[in-house]
Structure 1
């Protein structure tokens, strides 16, 4: 048992170290500096007060993001004449455009496009101080049943912007807590992993109020491992410029889950 607990603690510490490294990089959510919804036509980007895509600093007019949905065209036209086609994040990694210490890319949210602006030098002025966690809790590494629903269901999942996104669900993770059966619905399932969004009685107290994310390896059989020690805060815990999904009512757990990431308080080193 001691060996198993030692192995568990070492694996969890490695996961937490990777999580910290991910958030400390130039590509971190902590470096997001803006989210601007695009209009069809020409969207001017710059630091001038009348620019619809407003840079916090830099050139008064850097160029235009041109979106022509009827022709399926999206490109960046810089003031120096450089033209660059843009690919959104709909099918994978989006095209990134660098402007001095800024960079931007376009996200697709159900055919609504938005420009996400990143400050690549954010850590120079406010280095990431790290994350806090509940104490390691092996008992919250749960072997749940992975069961197909009798028929797939379609639910509307809200996000922090107040929008609803339809999600089709064909599976559920089922486990027993304090004598009661609990079901968690996955928000997505691919060939490698299962993604959950949940809320519990610690949300808004010890943990992030809007809920937390959890990923699990997709099982081969009928058992899925839910390690709540690896429950983590969504991007919207670190920036107002994210459009995170919120947990559907079915995933509001009626008990506290004292495992995983605690609420991020925004403490930074200076």
Structure 2
């Protein structure tokens, strides 16, 4: 192999490594922005599920360590002929949802699927017209994450590929206050795998 060819290969490897590092940094910054925003929400009296006393001492939610291996590219399949249904919640309220589509992806060597839903109530509000709801459970629930499962917010996909970042998984408001009626993740969104990223939960230190 000539010296010039070897030099080109080395340069390509360096460029590829630089690209990977930049992509990881960009991904982590996106998660950090999510964490800043949700902490800001919990401090805001108009949005927070916390009581006045809790907001006074609140500093941050507990976040698990960011891990970009839990950012996956999923194949989105639209399911346009689904019927509206009442999604059970932690109380008597049963909001109307429609299954909007399915996400197929591979994580830690497993082929997985999650359904995404569209709230028919929020659909009436222009600011939420492109909002999709992804509730799920996994093997960390009741241990390092909230026992009732967690949520991820998504926007209407513009293509058949959707980036799914589990580092942005958060707890429902009923994890912090019993006055809320939170949707219970449907059984078909129960993942047989641990997702040890996102917002954590512990009754002793979930608010610190």
**Fold-level similarity (TM above 0.5):** yes
Per the TM alignment, residue 226 of structure 1 is displaced from its structure 2 partner at its CA by 1.0
Is 1:13 aligned with 2:32?
yes
Preserved CA contact (<8 Å) 1:216 1:224? no
Q: Which has the higher contact order (CA 8 A, sep 6+)?
A: 2
Higher strand share: 1
**Measured at CA, do residues 175 and 2 of structure 1 come closer, stay the same or move farther in structure 2, by a change above 3 Å?**
same
What CA RMSD, in Å, does the superposition of the two structures yield over aligned residues? 2.2
Question: Which ranges of 4 or more aligned residues in structure 1 deviate by more than 4 Å?
Answer: 153-156, 162-166, 266-269
> Where do 1:1-270 residues align within 5 Å?
1-27=20-46, 28-31=48-51, 121-123=52-54, 126-149=56-79, 151-161=81-91, 164-188=94-118, 191-265=129-203, 267=205
Structure 1 residues 3 and 23, CA gap change in structure 2 (3 angstroms): same
Q: How many residues align?
A: 179
**What is the deviation of 1:129?**
3.3
The 3 A distance-change label for structure 1 pair 168 and 216 is: closer
The two structures have a TM-score, normalised by structure 2, of 0.76
What is the deviation of 1:151? 3.8
> Can you give the 5+ residue segments of structure 2 that lack an aligned partner in the other structure?
1-19, 120-127
The 3 A distance-change label for structure 1 pair 236 and 250 is: same
- Structure 1 or 2: larger helix share? 2
